[in-house]
Amino acid sequence: MNIGIAQINAVVGDFPGNVKRLLAAYRECLDAGAELVITPEMSLVGYPPRDLVFKSHFVPKCLQALDHLAGEIREVPLLVGYVDYHEATGGKPFRNAAAWLEQGAIVHRFWKTLLPTYDVFDERRYFEPGEACEPIVWNGKRIGVTICEDIWTDDYLQRPFYDRDPVSELSAKNMDLLLNLSASPFHLGKPAQRRDMLAKVARQSAVPVVYCNSIGGNDQLLFDGHSMVINAEGRIAAQLNGFVEQTRVVNPFLNLEPEDSKALEEEAPAQLYRALVLGLRDYATKCGFTSVCLGLSGGIDSALTAAIAADALGPENVHGLTMPSPYSSGGSVDDSIHLAKSLGIRCDTVPIRDAFETFKATLAPLFVGKPEDVTEENLQARIRGVLLMALSNKDHHLLLTTGNKSELAVGYCTIYGDMCGGLAVISDLPKTRVYEVCRWLNREREIIPWNTIEKPPSAELRPDQKDQDTLPEYEILDAILENYVEKQLSSEEIIDLGFDEATVRWIQRRVDLNEWKRQQAAPGIRVTSLAFGMGRRMPIVQRFVG
């Protein structure tokens, strides 16, 4: 039984475009000898559609596209994910569904049984779960069809979220093969975690598992692919590449030589960089942008953002501005120009000294007798934001913000200043990870100037300013933030780990106070286990201290 795996990049709500993608991948698999083709969860729809499903024409158009797609499937069956109605009285209005298309018709329909409502997921808001898990018989085999969460076991969810186990239900009915249509978002370490989970499922059910995962970026979520076939012994029999669209045909019942799984454990900087390049490319192109602009400060954050942009969209489609203030060092401008030459991107220098002095003169009657403070620092950042937004408007660029997760966490960024933009590319990348990725990027040749990597980080908004004048050392800051934000430990628990009490409480207070700022920030690309944005819902007005 040759099964084609079509790891495609769907666009949310683009039913005609997704039909074309599905048919192209289907035909690739046919040419390679497939007898059955499997696609990702909601491959006809794009995942997640969120509240689009409530629009009156959304599901009807989805079903119309499904009928059209079914009419094109004549040679071998195609298994495709879509959204269906829940026809029964009561319950949620829709189903997360999969359709078995064969000989021009919809032959079987399957409903997702386990609907996640944790982390970035909110499926019980929309969908009614499937009531029964029944294998189908095809080509002499009893085949179980599951959708994403249906195969995630309690061991990996850390606690039992469900009172049903679809894989066990299918195994009890003498299943021979398990298929899974998935839209499993990426975060660092997730590909290897999935491999371990799938291996356990295959061993426990004693059948091969064919797993097809989505690829591409949709809003803040990134899907990395890494589809695979696991044999009944729990070994990888075949795997597709990560972060690219791909098709492959595999017979899961042959005694295939196990494949190397090193790609799933690729070093962290490589995974992060490839993820961010794909995330930026898809966010820009799916939103209709062909080019981007950003501020180049001579610092490591803007340098990494520019490198990602050049790889994602081509250097000719990246426009940088370096905007020196009275406190900018000559080295920062030089580093920005050096970076631009290294990447092949455009860089223009637009000094802000005159604009800054004009603003100060305009405000002088209001500020009589008051010394300069953070107000004047923020003025510089906001002048730069105005210039970048003007460039974005005039040349139809997507403006990228360049702040990292460490800064965003504690509010070390200027609202309506350096936070201006349409996408916060590295906003889920802690500062220590920024350094790791930049050093990895320079592993063969200098792409980001080494001076940018090695000099002390500074916002350069006042004389001789350094980040560490305000913030703890980044190694300490990031370790505390990981415990407080991602692991959600209390201050007391973090202090018990050996961190300085005053430092922990300062960071905790800054994180909590700056929720209002983060809720106005540009969306970012999720690459850690818990990002600011989807998956983290904190109130702005609250007095809990913990």
Domain ranges of the chain: 3-266, 271-471
Please, is 132 exposed, middle or buried when counting C-beta atoms within 10 Å of its C-beta (0-12, 13-18, 19+)? Answer: exposed
Please enumerate, by residue number, every residue annotated as part of a binding site: 118, 184, 190, 295-302, 378, 402, 407, 517
What is the C-alpha separation between 55 and 52, in angstroms, rounded?
A: 5
Beta strands in 207-358 (DSSP E): 209-213, 215-218, 221-224, 228-230, 236-239, 246-250, 292-295, 318-322, 346-349
| Residues noted as catalytic | 41, 112, 148
**In this model, does residue 541 exceed pLDDT 90?**
no
β-strands 209-213, 94-102: how paired? unpaired
Q: Specify the CATH number for 271-471; select among 3.40.50.620, 3.20.20.20, 3.30.43.10, 3.40.50.1820.
A: 3.40.50.620
Cβ atoms of 151 and 198 closer than 8 Å: yes
Tell me the mean pLDDT in the region 82-87.
Answer: 96
Determine the pLDDT at residue 536.
87
**In this model, does residue 133 exceed pLDDT 60?**
yes
DSSP 485: I
Please enumerate, by residue number, every residue annotated as part of a binding site for deamido-NAD(+): 378, 407, 517
Determine the pLDDT at residue 118.
87
Q: What is the CATH number assigned to the segment(s) 3-266? A: 3.60.110.10
> One-letter amino acid identity for 388?
L
pLDDT in tens, 314-324: 999 999 999 99
Beta strands in 209-305 (DSSP E): 209-213, 215-218, 221-224, 228-230, 236-239, 246-250, 292-295
**In this model, does residue 495 exceed pLDDT 60?**
yes
SS3 track for 440-481: HHCCCCCCCCHHHHHCCCCCCCCCCCCHHHCCCCHHHHHHHH
pLDDT in tens, 215-225: 999 999 999 99
Determine the pLDDT at residue 402.
97
Tell me the mean pLDDT in the region 247-271.
Answer: 82
Beta strands in 174-305 (DSSP E): 177-182, 209-213, 215-218, 221-224, 228-230, 236-239, 246-250, 292-295
Please enumerate, by residue number, every residue annotated as part of a binding site for L-glutamine: 118, 184, 190
Please report, rounded to a whole number, the percentage of residues in the chain having pLDDT higher than 70: 96
Higher pLDDT, 386 or 253: 386
**In this model, does residue 52 exceed pLDDT 80?**
yes
Read off the pTM: 0.94
Higher pLDDT, 329 or 436: 436
pLDDT in tens, 460-490: 666 766 667 778 999 999 999 999 999 999 9
> One-letter amino acid identity for 213?
N
First CA to last CA across the chain, in angstroms?
Answer: 56
Dihedral, 199, 225, 405, 382 alpha carbons, nearest 10: -170
Please name every residue paired with 83 in a beta bridge, in sequence order, or none if there are none: 96
Asked if omega into 48 is within 30° of 0 (cis), the reply is yes
Is 194 in a helix, a strand, or coil? helix
Percent of the chain as helix, strand, coil, to the nearest 5: 40, 20, 40
Please enumerate, by residue number, every residue annotated as part of a binding site for ATP: 295-302, 402
pLDDT in tens, 402-449: 999 999 999 999 999 999 999 999 999 999 999 999 999 999 999 999
